[in-house]
Amino acid sequence: MSVAEPRFHIEESPKNVVSAADTQLDITFDQLKKLVTPRALTGDTMLLNMGPQHPSTHGVLRLLLELDGETVLSCIPDIGFLHTGIEKTAESKTYTKAIVVTDRIDYLAPMICNLAYVGAVEKLVGVDVPLRAQYIRVILSELTRMNSHLVWLGTHALDIGAMSMFLYTFRERELLLDIFELVSGTRMMSSYFRVGGLWRDAPDSFADAVRRVLKVFPARLLEYENLLKENPLWRERTIGIGVISKEDAVAYGMTGPSLRGSGVNYDVRKAAPYSSYDHFDFSVPLGAHGDVYDRYRCRMEEFYQSLKIIEQALDKLPPGPVITDDRKIAPPPKHEIAYSMESLIHHFKLWTEGFRAPEGEVYHAVESGKGEFGVYISSDGGPRPRRVHFRAPSLCNLQALPQMSKGYLIADIVGIVGSVDIVLGEVDR
């Protein structure tokens, strides 16, 4: 019996065959040494590029993987391909005008980004939102969460190989997008929330359209569950894959279903209720093992909780105004301008200059589909913010990817990336 000759010896080839330039990263050789194992530098393990055009990286995420055979030894994410300078743009616009850029952050959940931003501005200027507006915001946020989860479910399953899932979820997504179009006129970049309330009241057919979602969804969710929940292939590919412990998840700043999959009970809607979330009864689904399957279960259970919240909000939806009557913040109704000088002045001032916020800084967080979406605003007392910063949950969740993917197979990487549910618009901003 002959012993196979070792293919490569580090001792025999002290010369590094990999250079920093090979990685196509903005990196020096010393920095690279800290990110990969020493074997990578001698060519003993393989450095493989994945993305940014790879279909299962959910946009333009690039991963540099160090592989020993099929096993991932280290993973270096490279982001920034979708950096659009949203924070800089928001600095140069008035508080109202910056709402449109928040849609583009998490383009799968634009209403939640709107809600976080207007919530932060409302906290800064100290304005109360009418109850009807708060309830409609809750309904639309939950629909948005479902929209975000539907895209996640479809693409995540598609990555792992369940092609038909994608077609079903995008079929249901149309129902939700129709509602967004109904209220705002736009399917995706809705910009429907305004500082102090809503752009305008939801049309009469809104309630019926939402009831239709409530009626249709339970059966469709059952369909999804039948396809995946007990599917042996699905379970084989997800259980015990991409495990991250409670402590690690918290240390990396993970939030949302990705954190709750590890069994940490943290949901901003419960911890610091905003927009009257404390008026509704719902529970926070938790996982136990912190693997891909538990994160999948958490999100699936959230569908049911969202439906529960929407139903309660719709039943209790009070009549009344949908935007604050503080004329310094919200523009007057159009018909008033015709006969009221005051209104005309307010209208003119608001659209030429915008309102001024007191000097100070606030941080306001909401629970988006991905996790804690926070907005930090620093104001210098003028009509434009000094600094706006968006705390993107996807960025923090993605940070844990190297930790999660270590030691798994390269085929598992797509499953792990999918289970973290990233949106690159939000990661790069």
Partner 1 sequence: MEQPLPSTNIGASVLAALGESVSDTRVFRDEVTLFVVKEHVSEVLQYLRDVEKFDMLTDETCVDYLPREPRFGIIYQLYSMPRNIRVRVKVMLSENDRSIQSAYPVYRSANWLEREIYDLFGIMFVGHPDLRRIMMPPGWEGHPLLKEHPVKVEEVAFSFNRERVMADKPRAQE
Interface residue with partner 1, options 8, 10, 48, 85 (CB under 8 A)? 85
- Separation CA 95–CA 90 (nearest Å): 8
Which two tokens mark 131?
């109850």
| Residue 253 C-beta: closest distance to partner 1, Å | 3
By the rule CB under 8 A, 266 interacts with partner 1: yes
Interface residue with partner 1, options 97, 187, 387, 406 (CB under 8 A)? 387
Which residue number, 135 or 373, has a Cβ lying nearer to partner 1? 373
| Residue 46 C-beta: closest distance to partner 1, Å | 22
By the rule CB under 8 A, 123 interacts with partner 1: yes
CB atoms within 10 A of CB 24: 11
DSSP H or E segment with residue 366: strand 360-367
Determine the 3-state secondary structure of 321 from DSSP.
Answer: coil
By the rule CB under 8 A, 89 interacts with partner 1: yes
| Residue 372 C-beta: closest distance to partner 1, Å | 6
Interface residue with partner 1, options 53, 218, 386, 407 (CB under 8 A)? 386
The interface region with partner 1, picked from 77-85, 100-108, 225-233, 301-309 by CB under 8 A, is: 77-85
Question: What is the footprint of partner 1 within residues 336-375 (CB under 8 A)?
Answer: 360-363, 365, 372, 374
Interface residue with partner 1, options 29, 38, 55, 80 (CB under 8 A)? 80
Q: Return phi, psi of residue 151, to 5°.
A: -65, -40
Q: Are 327 and 341 in contact (CB under 8 A)?
A: no
Residue listed under structure tokens 């003028």: 382
By the rule CB under 8 A, 104 interacts with partner 1: no
How far, in Å, are 352, 369, 411 from residue 300 at the CA level? 46, 12, 23
Angle between helices 131-160 and 410-420 (to 10 degrees): 170
By the rule CB under 8 A, 79 interacts with partner 1: yes
| Residue 80 C-beta: closest distance to partner 1, Å | 4
Closest of 143, 154, 123 to residue 224, by C-alpha: 154
| Residue 251 C-beta: closest distance to partner 1, Å | 5
Which x/- pattern, by CB under 8 A, does the window 124-163 give for partner 1? x-x-------------------------------------
- Separation CA 135–CA 130 (nearest Å): 9
Closest of 162, 159, 142 to residue 307, by C-alpha: 142
By the rule CB under 8 A, 332 interacts with partner 1: no
Residues 6+ positions from 193 with CB-CB distance below 8 Å = 99, 111, 114, 115, 118, 137, 199
Tell me which residues touch partner 1 (CB under 8 A).
Answer: 25-27, 31, 34-35, 79-80, 83, 85, 87-89, 91-92, 123-124, 126, 250-253, 255, 264, 266, 271-272, 360-363, 365, 372, 374, 376, 378, 386-387, 389, 391, 395-396, 398-399, 428-429
